[in-house]
Amino acid sequence: MKADLTKIKIIAWDLDGTLFQSQKDLSIAMAGAFVKILSESKNLNEDDARKLLSESVAIHKGVTKSLEALGCGDRISIIKRVESIVDKASYLKVDQKLQKMFTDLSNYKHAIASDTSHTIINKELEALGLSSSIFESITGVDDAKTTKPDRMFYQVMLNKGNYNPSDYLVVGDRVAIDLIPAKELGMMTCLVWSNEVDPERSRRADFVLPTVYNVADLFKE
């Protein structure tokens, strides 16, 4: 049975990997930045840093979490360091399909919930051709002072608006990071860029969609 969307007033979007998919050149630049941070912090050559990082990612899952566990600083400082190395917005371009989707969803309020700093969020939105005025609130690492999947991140977002958790649909590309904490706080969830059929994983998301552009279709009668 399909979850009921009639109560949804506001859609909270993850940004990286959700409003855009990382193309190969951006992924390579990001991977290079992570290795650079580790090699500088631990005084390792690049090959050793790459090997150590991949071993750590196998244990800790997220790259930022792995770097934190390896003693490269806290997650927020690592995120800011990566942002200073890689100009993510320069890899993005105006996405007319995305612009049309937000036009189709203009009867709803929108929010951004991204593990990125506000400066970069604004640059990325601009590069995608989205006005930041579409979003009633933007929550980033600067004001959340934490990252997803810490529920506190979404709590900071919730504190910004006069909505109940059940008024929100949270859209993201990672179940464990974006959706589980949102669900635990009583928000509805939608996984995008996924053909996930694993019932254990999809059980965590109320909706699973092949692309982000399909979100507007959810709200069509």
Which region holds residue 219: left if phi is over 0, alpha if psi is between -120 and 50, else beta? Answer: alpha
Residues sharing a CB contact under 8 Å with residue 29, sequence separation 6 or more, in sequence order: 86, 91
Which of 8, 19 has the CB closer to Mg ion? Answer: 19
Stretch in the footprint of Mg ion (CB under 5 A) among 9-17, 65-73, 88-96, 101-109: 9-17
Torsion of CA 92, 112, 31, 79, to 10 degrees: 130
Q: Which residue is nearest to Mg ion (CB)?
A: 17
Token pair, residue 77, equals 């400082």
Minimum distance between the CB of residue 172 and Mg ion, rounded to whole angstroms?
A: 6
Q: How far is CA 74 from CA 66, 69, 137, in A?
A: 10, 9, 25
Q: Does residue number 17 form part of the binding site for Mg ion (CB under 5 A)?
A: yes
Q: Does residue number 16 form part of the binding site for Mg ion (CB under 5 A)?
A: yes
Which of 56, 116 has the CB closer to Mg ion? Answer: 116
> d(Cα 149, Cα 107) in Å, to the nearest integer?
29
Minimum distance between the CB of residue 21 and Mg ion, rounded to whole angstroms?
A: 10
Q: Does residue number 124 form part of the binding site for Mg ion (CB under 5 A)?
A: no
HSE-CB of 21 using CA atoms within 13 angstroms: 9
Which of 18, 194 has the CB closer to Mg ion? Answer: 18
Minimum distance between the CB of residue 173 and Mg ion, rounded to whole angstroms?
A: 4
Stretch in the footprint of Mg ion (CB under 5 A) among 54-62, 119-127, 157-165, 169-177: 169-177
Token pair, residue 218, equals 């959810």
> Which spans of this chain sit near Mg ion (rule: CB under 5 A)?
14, 16-18, 173
